[in-house]
Amino acid sequence: MIAVIDYGAGNIQSVVKALKFIGCDCIVTNKKEELLKADGAIMPGVGSFGDSMDSMIKTGAKDAVLEFIERERPFLGICLGLQLLFPESEESPNAKGLGLLDGTITKIPANTGLKIPHMGWNSLKILKHDGIFKGIEGEPYVYFVHSYFLTAQDQSIVSAQTEYGVKIDASVRKDNIFATQFHPEKSGKVGLQILQNFIDITKR
């Protein structure tokens, strides 16, 4: 069973639809007792960093997520769900993130001549061909929607990157934590394979 975490700011239905398409049982919840029974958890996210952290605190999702990860269960953050794993974001200077990983979240520079937000398909340079990228070859295209991007402090946790005027750390992994800046649930066959790989990890 996969728990899709609902803290009032997630892109819930498209993730649930993708999981059901590949035959995965899932539950949408923000309750700690339900989350802790799950084999793995996915935290989607759209919206602003600060508002989402406020929502996580108000719904109790913050404490639930921290305990889930502390118990070394497989966890996947998607888009804003990646950014919230870090201490802070330039988007919401007064907000404190979960602080589970180290890095900076900054706005894509306006002087690149590219449209912001970064919206649409872009290629990935996969650095670690295991974990959620097992069996995925070449430089696959995946779907992005974001204006802020990660630069990880410890580059050893970066599992994939992309370019959009700047180098973007598009996916990270540390222990039981996986996260993607792009949306696997909107990334066609490649995205479904990434979700299936995550599900397979939860069964080990």
Q: How far apart are CA 30 and CA 145, in angstroms?
A: 24
Residues marked active site are found at: 79, 183, 185
In order of 45, 61, 138, 181, the CA distances from 145 in angstroms are 11, 23, 22, 8
Q: How far apart are CA 115 and CA 90, in angstroms?
A: 19
Q: How far apart are CA 17 and CA 22, in angstroms?
A: 9
Strand partners, 42: 4, 76
**174 token code pair:** 């540390």
Among 160, 27, 8, smallest CA distance to 84 is for 8
Strand partners, 29: 5
